[in-house]
Amino acid sequence: MLNILLLSLLCSFTLAFPFQLPFKFSSDEQQPKSSIHTISEYPTHTLSTNSIQSLGLEKPEIGQYAGYFKCGLTENNMFYWFFESRNNPDTDPLILWLTGGPGCSSSYGLFFELGPSSIDVNLKPVYNNFSWNSNASVIFLDQPTGTGFSYGGIPALSTDTLTQQIYVFIEFFFDRFPNFRKNKFHIAGESYAGHYIPNLLHQLKKNWHTITFKVESVLIGNGIIDPLIQIGAYEPMACGKAGYKKLLNDSDCQYMIDKYEVFKKYDKFCYITGELYSCVHARKLGKEISEPFNKLNLNPYDIRKKCIANTSDCYLESQAIDKYLNLPEVKSVIGVSQNLEFKMCNDEVAKPFEWYGDNMRPSQQYLKEALEVDNTPVLIYSGDKDYLCGWIGLLEVCDKLKYEGFVKQPIQNWITLDGELAGQVKNYKKLTFVRVFKAGHMVPFDQPRNSLDLLNRWINGDYTLSN
Ligand SMILES: *[C@@H]1O[C@H](CO)[C@@H](O)[C@H](O)[C@H]1NC(C)=O
Ligand SMILES: *[C@@H]1O[C@H](CO)[C@@H](O)[C@H](O)[C@H]1NC(C)=O
Ligand SMILES: *[C@@H]1O[C@H](CO)[C@@H](O)[C@H](O)[C@H]1NC(C)=O
Ligand SMILES: *[C@@H]1O[C@H](CO)[C@@H](O)[C@H](O)[C@H]1NC(C)=O
């Protein structure tokens, strides 16, 4: 909860090992002049860093840091956790990971999906051989504030206001860890990051004159990018038209089709005019489409499973994470206030996004812009047992981007370097769509080995997954 009293107390809290950034840009001749603005525009911002040796999440020789990016004027404190590559941090790419929600911590990605360790029921780390930091350094950022260990400030009201904060964080990160500047920098995320990432790219474009880094590529897993199309994938996902058995009877399926037609009218209007009511109403109708599916009590992130756990995500395996991150010794090592209670997802953060109808607004136009104008490679991957961001919807999103010759390309098998048939791939030049077999919304959780194959090939520039 965004408790006002608690937050004002926390704002005066000082980190155990504060690292105040000297503003080096103006004196450092290697920095482009334009970057001076970036920093001098925000003279009250700081980035704190704790070096972490204990906890046992990663081998001690691997660099590990956590801290806060603080936007001084608004007392906005964004928490990040950074793991250097297990292979060669000097040359391996750098990845910024963003979990969605809005309001779900990137620690979910870290501990449940793709970080160096997961947490078992005894709250002990379990080493992950397929961590995404096998061949890349990975930053996990809790955003917007109110999410995970991030706190304070003015809550983000929309994707647009949020992404304005993220890019300044990235600037500070490179200033604090300048050795990573020369490495390729990718932005990856999941679910609501289908909104965050395209908007962030647009934000970078708008602010190009102050940006001192380049985005090599973006990766979006089961993202909500183009809701007008993607909400239309609920019915086929539940009604046996997407490679999985039919879960609902004909009348329920027809109900979903009919509801979607009504939804479409409002969401189209939302797309065209941006008018608040139509976006908010589209959101309501979008939820109603799912009523028959919800009655099944299946896990909407993985239709093969029942929703067993009493949490926002239906998974028992994720329940230890909140407990682990609330351990006093963990908080103290990563430099987090003992007063701050960690919750994997904070519904309060999502509320302003709901009020703005942010969810049902389009983001695909910014991916198109990134592809066509900036030539930025885009990977859209989708676990094919996810109901919420169904793979056939995402394939249609890619097709309808009308990116050069993409739509005409054949779908091919994705065979991992270990020889496993792991999914299907469609690619043209810089745009790649991947259907991941036997995976739900959280692909690296279900397919750790295959997701690492996908990541490593992608960051090595194998956009066709055929090499
Ligand atoms: C990936 O990292 C592993 C060790 O973590 C190393 O053996 C392998 O050569 C690396 N691959 C690439 C392509 O860098
Ligand atoms: C991880 O890799 C190590 C070394 O190859 C191996 O001993 C261990 O069994 C692996 N763990 C899992 C869970 O696969
Ligand atoms: C379809 O299933 C619903 C339960 O979700 C049930 O109420 C309804 O009667 C069924 N309709 C038909 C035609 O079987
Ligand atoms: C699930 O959680 C809610 C809210 O925390 C609680 O009211 C409810 O009793 C819980 N149900 C079960 C079965 O644990």
128, 135, 138, 184: which to mutate for ligand 1, most atoms within 8 A of CB? 135
How far is residue 107's CA from residue 114's CA, in Å, rounded to a whole number?
10
Amino acid 41: pLDDT: 65
Whether residue 252 has its Cβ less than 6 Å from ligand 3: yes
Amino acid 316: pLDDT: 83
Tell me, in angstroms, the distance from the centre of ligand 3 to residue 384's CA.
26
pLDDT above 60: residue 433: yes
From 337, 419, 431, select the one nearest 381 (Cα to Cα): 431
How far is residue 43's CA from residue 48's CA, in Å, rounded to a whole number?
15
How far is residue 189's CA from residue 215's CA, in Å, rounded to a whole number?
14
Give me the DSSP letters along 111-165.
Answer: IIIISSEEE-TTS-EEE-TT-GGGSSEEEEE--STTSTT-B-SPPP-SHHHHHHH
CB 237 within 8 A of CB 395: no
Q: Kindly tell me the sign of the dihedral angle through the C-alpha atoms of 399, 402, 406, 407.
A: positive
CB 112 within 8 A of CB 321: yes
pLDDT above 70: residue 17: no
* Secondary structure class of 65 (helix, strand, coil): strand
CB atoms inside a 10 Å sphere around CB 305: 14
How far is residue 235's CA from residue 131's CA, in Å, rounded to a whole number?
34
Residue whose entry in the numeric block shows the structure tokens 């806060």: 68
How far is residue 149's CA from residue 356's CA, in Å, rounded to a whole number?
24
Amino acid 30: pLDDT: 33
From 448, 394, 377, 393, select the one nearest 416 (Cα to Cα): 448
Amino acid 112: pLDDT: 96
Percent of the chain predicted with pLDDT > 90:
80
Radius of gyration of the chain (CA): 21
155 versus 6: which is more confidently predicted? 155
Tell me, in angstroms, the distance from the centre of ligand 3 to residue 261's CA.
21
Amino acid 20: pLDDT: 30
Closest ligand 3 atom, residue 252 Cα: 1
Helix, strand, coil tally for the chain in percent (to 5): 40, 20, 45
pLDDT above 60: residue 256: yes
CB 139 within 8 A of CB 78: no
Tell me, in angstroms, the distance from the centre of ligand 2 to residue 130's CA.
10
CB 201 within 8 A of CB 372: no
Amino acid 6: pLDDT: 26
Closest ligand 1 atom, residue 85 Cα: 5
Amino acid 265: pLDDT: 97
Amino acid 467: pLDDT: 62
> Residues with beta carbon inside 6 Å of ligand 1?
86-87, 134-135
Enumerate residues 6+ apart whose C-beta is below 8 A from 11: 75, 77, 152
In tens, the pLDDT along 330-383 reads 999 999 999 999 999 999 999 999 999 999 999 999 999 999 999 999 999 999
Could you tell me the two tokens for 61?
Answer: 């020789």
* Range of weakest confidence among 28-32, 67-71, 323-327: 28-32
Amino acid 418: pLDDT: 93
In tens, the pLDDT along 81-114 reads 999 999 999 999 999 999 999 999 999 999 999 9
* Secondary structure class of 462 (helix, strand, coil): coil
The whole-angstrom distance between residue 274's C-alpha and the CA centroid of its chain comes to 24
**Cα-based distances in Å from 135 to 84, 95, 138, 153:** 9, 10, 9, 35
Whose alpha carbon is nearest atom 2 of ligand 3?
A: 249
* Range of weakest confidence among 80-89, 147-156, 230-239, 261-270: 147-156
251, 290, 294, 298: which to mutate for ligand 3, most atoms within 8 A of CB? 251
266 versus 160: which is more confidently predicted? 266
* Secondary structure class of 437 (helix, strand, coil): coil
Mean pLDDT throughout 296-315? 88
236 versus 156: which is more confidently predicted? 236
Whose alpha carbon is nearest atom 14 of ligand 1?
A: 135
pLDDT above 90: residue 407: yes
User: Where does the pLDDT of residue 251 fall: very low under 50, low under 70, confident under 90, or very high at 90 and above?
Assistant: very high
* Range of weakest confidence among 26-35, 69-78, 131-140, 217-226: 26-35
CB atoms inside a 10 Å sphere around CB 5: 7
Could you tell me the two tokens for 166?
Answer: 């993220």
445 versus 16: which is more confidently predicted? 445
Residue whose entry in the numeric block shows the structure tokens 């682990």: 324
* Range of weakest confidence among 80-84, 163-167, 229-233: 163-167
| Average pLDDT over the chain, rounded to an integer | 89
Amino acid 319: pLDDT: 87
pLDDT above 70: residue 1: no
CB 382 within 8 A of CB 435: yes
59, 62, 87, 455: which to mutate for ligand 1, most atoms within 8 A of CB? 87
- Active-site entry in 48, 118, 134, 191: 191
Could you tell me the two tokens for 381?
Answer: 């991957």
User: Where does the pLDDT of residue 163 fall: very low under 50, low under 70, confident under 90, or very high at 90 and above?
Assistant: confident
In tens, the pLDDT along 37-92 reads 235 667 889 899 999 988 999 999 999 999 999 887 778 899 999 999 999 999 99
pLDDT above 80: residue 191: yes
Amino acid 40: pLDDT: 65
pLDDT above 60: residue 13: no
Tell me, in angstroms, the distance from the centre of ligand 3 to residue 215's CA.
50
pLDDT above 60: residue 458: yes
Q: Is 195 a catalytic residue?
A: no
Closest ligand 1 atom, residue 92 Cα: 14
